[in-house]
Chains A and B, each alone.
Chain A
Amino acid sequence: MSKRCFGMSLIGRSIVFLLTVVLLASESVFAVVDEFEIQLSVDRTQLVVGDDFNMTVLVSTKSGGLSFGQTPKLTLPEGIEVTGSSSSTSNAMNIVNGSVTTSVTTRLNYSVRATRAGSFVLGPLRMDHKGKSYESNKIRVDVGKVQRGSGAGSAPDIPGSGNPGLKQIQEALFVSALPDKKRVYVGEQVTLSYNLFTRQNINNVNYANIPTYTGFWSEPLFDTQRLNFKREMLDGKEYHRAPLKVTALFPTTSGKHQLEQLELICDVPDTRAQQRRFDAFGFEDLFRGGAGGRTQKVRLRSNDVELEVLPLPDGAPPGFEGAVGKYKISVLVSPTSTVVGEPVSLKLVVSGSGNLSAIPRPKYESGRMFKIYDPKETVQVEKQGTRIGGRKTFEYVIIPQEAGTLEIPSFSMPYFDPVEKQYRTARTDPVRLNVGAGDKHLPAAGGTALTRNEIQVLGQDIRYLKPDLSHLDDHGVRLLEDWKFLALNIVPILGFAGVVLYKRHRNRMSHDVAYARRRRSTGEARKRLTKANQLLGETVGGELYSELNDALSQFLADRLNVPTAAITPDSARALLLDKDVQKEMVEEVRGLLEQCDYARFAPGSATSEVRAKDYSQAEKLISALDSMI
C-alpha cells in the first residue's frame, strides 16, 4: 500500500531527494542535526459509526529524507479502516546567525472510517531509521452509535485536516442555516434558509444528510435543483452564495430545540498543492501532474441552530384545539332548497396563513333538525412568499330531519394569532335552508345509507330448494299428443270453411238471379201454402185458389227462371216436359193450374172437400217438383 501511495509523487520526491542530497553533501557548510520524530494526529476523536476522519502521520527528520518506500508500519485496531491515503514531503531550511539548519517532513494522510462502536487506541506506529527504532505517540478515539443531530461542528471535514489548508477551507467554504426568528410559539411558522457560501471552486455537490426536523411539522418552500451562485460580501470578503433550501417549520412542542444539521459533500481542489507551491520551490506543476489536479472530498455541515419554542399563552377560548396562524371561514350550501331526508352538501373553507394540515374540524352546535355526517377533508397548500398558507376544505353531508325553513348552525374555529399574540375565533354566518316535506324514507340511524361498503362475498353455494306445493303440475305434457287440443285447433279451420261457403252463397244470392230465385222458391211456396191453409176453412174459395195458383206458378217461374206471368197451364206443361218431368205429374200440374183459374173466377164452385183435395195436391206437387227441377 505504501508503495502505491508514494508512487503518486515519485518524480517530485526523487527531485527533492536529489536536492537534499546535494545540500547535505557538504557537512562543512551545514551543521547536521540528526533528529527523527514520528507524530500521529487525527482531526477528531469523538466519532459515530460510519464517520470518516483523517489521520495524519508526520515523519520529520533533520538528517535527511526517508529512503524510497520507507514508511512507518501502519497497524490499526479492528473497527478502524483505511479508505484512502496520500503523502507529501516538505523541506525547510532555516538560516539563523549564519548557521543553516534543514528539516525534511514527510506527511502521510490517511482517510479512515470507524466501522464499529467502541473506544480505540491508534498507534504507536513504529519505524526503523538508521538502525534505531522510533515510536509515534498514541491517540484514543471514541466511536459512538449513530445519533443524528448530535451537535457536530460546522467545520468542514477534510481528509488531512490539521494541515495548513484547513483554515483556508473553513473560511472559504461553509453552509449557513439561518432561521427568520429564534423565539416562536408552538405552531408558529419559522422559515429556515440554507445557503452555501464559497470562495473557491467546488464540484460534485451532493446532500449527505437532510434533516428530518424532529419535533416540527415541515413544509418545503424552496429546494434548489442546481446551484445558482451570486456574489455577496460577507465580513468584508467577497463570496459566492447559492441558496440551497428554504423550509417552513411549525414546532409541535415547546422548549429549546436544537435543529439537525444539513450536510453536503463536495469536491474541492487539493489545497496542499498550493502549499507545496511555496515549499517545493516552484515545482508545483510537475508535482500536481497537470491541469486536472487532485481534489479532496469535503463534508460540510451547516451551523448549529437553536430555537426557543414558547408555549401558547393562557386564556385559550373554549374549543381551541391548537390552530395557530390567521384564518377565515366561509360556508357554501347547495342546494338551498330540499326535502326532508334528501342530502345537502355543505362546503366549509378555512383559508389563511399557518399550518393548515394541523387545522382541526370547525365546531358546530348539533341539533335534532339535521343529521350531519363526518366531512371529507382536502388541504390545498399555497406558498405566499416565505409564508405557508392556503385553504382547507371540509365537505359535510347534511340531511334535514324536519320540514320548514331551517337554520344550519354556524361553524366556529378559535385560533391563536402569533403576530398579535391574541386568541381569536373565526365564525361562519348561519345559513337558511328551505326544507319541503317530501316523501322519502329517512335512512336508518347511524347513516348506513351514506357510508356504504362493497358487499363482500364470503362463500358460494347452490340456491336453496323450491318450496312445497299443494299440487304438482306436469311440465312434461305435450299438447300435440292431446286430442282435446288438436280438436280445438280443428274448430277454427271448420269455421273458416263455413264462413267461406256462406260468403259465396251470399254473393250468388246478390248476383245470380236464377240461383237466388231458385234458393228462395221453396220458401216462398211454403209461405203461400201456409196462407192457403189458413183460407181452407172459408166458404168462398176464391182467395184460396188465388194463393194456390200464386204458390205453384211462382214456384215454377222461380225454378225455371221465367217471368211469373209467363206461366199458364199450357206453358207450364211445355216447360216441365222440357225438364223431363213425368207426363202424369205434368198433367197434374196443368190440371191444378186450370182448376185454380176456374175456381178463382167462379167462387163457390168448389166444395170444401174439393178445396182440401186441391190444397193437398198443390202441396204434394211442389214437394215433388222441388227435387225434380
Chain B
Amino acid sequence: MRLSRYIIIQLCVFQLVSTSGLYAVGPDAAAGYNRGNMLYRKGNYRDAILEYNKVLATGVANGHLYYNLGNAYYKSGKLGRAIIAYERAQQLLPGDEDIKANLLFANAVKKDRDPEGEVGLLLRAVDSLYGSLTEHRLTILDSLFLFLLIGAGTCLIWFDSRRVLWICLVSLLGLGFGGTTLLLANRIGARTSNSHAVVLPDALMGRSGPGEDFLQVFEIHEGTKVSIQRVEEGWMLIRLSNGVGGWVPLGGLEAI
C-alpha cells in the first residue's frame, strides 16, 4: 500500500513538471507576436519581420513565431531567410503540418533542386519518427522510462511472487531507457555541433580552398541547405547534399 502510493506520487509530480505550461513566457512576448501577425495581415511584411525579431531577441524560442517569421520573409522575397526560419520552426515543432508544408513549398521554389534519392518506405517511416522526436520529447520519454524502470525494479525487489514477469518488464523498460538515452545523446550532439546552414545571397561561389584565388567548383543559390564542415580564416568548408564539398565566404551563409 505504501509502495503504490509512492509510485503514484512520483508519476503525478512527473506529469506536473513535464507540462509545457510551466515554461510559458510572459505576456509581452505574446503581445509582440500578435502585433507582428496584425502587421502581416495588413501586408506590412517588413514591420512584421521587425516585430517578430524583437520577440526572438528576448530569448524565446517558439515554433509558431519562427513559422510566421518565415512567412513574412517569404512574402518579402527573402527565400533564404524564410527557409532558415522554417527550419528553426521545424526543429522546435517537428510534427507541425503547416511548417512541414511551407518548408517543402519554399524548397520547391528555390533555384537549386535538392537531389532526390530513392528512399525506402521503412527508412522514410523511421526518419519521420526520428524527426518527430525532439530533444524535449526525448527527455520526457527518457525520464518516463526511468520512472517506469524504477517502478518495475521496485516491484521486482518487493514482491517475491511473479518474478519472471517483473524481470521481463525490467528488461524491456531497461532497453527503452537505454534506447531513448542514446537518441537523446545523439540529438544533443547534433544540436551542439550546429552543422547546417542556408545560403542567403542570390548566388554563392564554392571554391576548392579558403580564398578567392582557388578554383571555382560550384555555384549555389539562395535557400540551399548545406552541411558545415569547418571554419578557417573567414571561410567555411561546406558539403552539399550530393556530397560535393567547397569553401565559401562566412557571410554568405547562416546557420540554422
A residues apposed to B, CB below 8 Å: 460-480, 484-485, 488-489, 491-493, 495-496, 499-500, 503
Q: Is B30's CB under 8 angstroms from A465's CB?
A: no
Which B-chain residue is minimally distant from A506 (CB atoms)? B158
Q: Find chain B residues with CB under 8 A from A488 CB.
A: 13-14, 17, 143
Q: Sample 6 A-B pairs with CB under 8 A, ordered by A number.
A: A462-B74, A472-B64, A474-B23, A474-B60, A477-B20, A492-B10
Q: Find chain B residues with CB under 8 A from A493 CB.
A: 150
Q: A464-B71, A492-B150 are in contact. Are A477 and B105 (CB under 8 A)?
A: no
Q: Is A478's CB under 8 angstroms from B25's CB?
A: no
B residues apposed to A, CB below 8 Å: 3, 6, 10, 13-14, 17, 20-21, 23-27, 29-30, 33-34, 37, 40-41, 55, 60-65, 67-68, 71, 74-75, 92-93, 98, 101-102, 105-106, 135-136, 139-140, 143, 146-147, 150-151, 153-154, 157-158, 188
Interchain nearest-CB distance for B209 vs A (Å):
37
Which B-chain residue is minimally distant from A487 (CB atoms)? B17
Q: Is B158's CB under 8 angstroms from A473's CB?
A: no
Cα distance, A424 to B20, chains bound together (Å): 82
Q: Find chain B residues with CB under 8 A from A477 CB.
A: 20, 23, 61, 136
Contact of A462 among B3, B25, B62, B106 (CB under 8 A): B106
Q: Find chain A residues with CB under 8 A from B26 CB.
A: 471
Cα distance, A477 to B137, chains bound together (Å): 11
Contact of B158 among A465, A489, A499 (CB under 8 A): A499
Cα distance, A484 to B98, chains bound together (Å): 33
Interchain nearest-CB distance for B42 vs A (Å):
12
Q: Is B68's CB under 8 angstroms from A496's CB?
A: no
| New A-B contacts (7) at CB < 8 Å, excluding given A466-B67, A472-B64, A492-B147 | A460-B105, A472-B65, A473-B23, A485-B17, A492-B10, A499-B3, A499-B154
Q: Is A475's CB under 8 angstroms from B40's CB?
A: no
Q: Is B37's CB under 8 angstroms from A468's CB?
A: yes
Q: Is A462's CB under 8 angstroms from B71's CB?
A: yes
Question: Which of A462, A472, A474 is packed against the most chain B CB atoms within 10 Å?
Answer: A472
Cα distance, A473 to B41, chains bound together (Å): 22
Cα distance, A503 to B155, chains bound together (Å): 11
Q: A472-B25, A495-B10, A499-B157 are in contact. Are A465 and B61 (CB under 8 A)?
A: no
Number of A-B contacts (CB under 8 A): 121
Q: Is B98's CB under 8 angstroms from A463's CB?
A: yes
Which A-chain residue is minimally distant from B72 (CB atoms)? A465
Q: Is A489's CB under 8 angstroms from B37's CB?
A: no
Contact of B33 among A464, A469, A478, A479 (CB under 8 A): A469
Q: Find chain A residues with CB under 8 A from B10 CB.
A: 491-492, 495
Q: Find chain B residues with CB under 8 A from A491 CB.
A: 10, 13
Which A-chain residue is minimally distant from B137 (CB atoms)? A479
Which B-chain residue is minimally distant from A496 (CB atoms)? B150
Q: Is B20's CB under 8 angstroms from A473's CB?
A: yes
Q: Is A469's CB under 8 angstroms from B64's CB?
A: yes
Q: Find chain B residues with CB under 8 A from A479 CB.
A: 136, 139-140, 143
Which B-chain residue is minimally distant from A462 (CB atoms)? B102
Q: Find chain A residues with CB under 8 A from B158 CB.
A: 499, 503
Q: A476-B61, A492-B146, A499-B154 are in contact. Are A468 and B136 (CB under 8 A)?
A: no
Which A-chain residue is minimally distant from B103 (CB atoms)? A462
Cα distance, A45 to B102, chains bound together (Å): 80
Q: Find chain A residues with CB under 8 A from B14 CB.
A: 488
Cα distance, A500 to B155, chains bound together (Å): 11
Q: Find chain B residues with CB under 8 A from A465 CB.
A: 37, 40-41, 67-68, 71
Q: Find chain A residues with CB under 8 A from B105 CB.
A: 460-463
Q: Find chain B residues with CB under 8 A from A473 CB.
A: 20-21, 23-25, 62
Q: Is A469's CB under 8 angstroms from B34's CB?
A: yes
Q: Find chain B residues with CB under 8 A from A500 CB.
A: 157
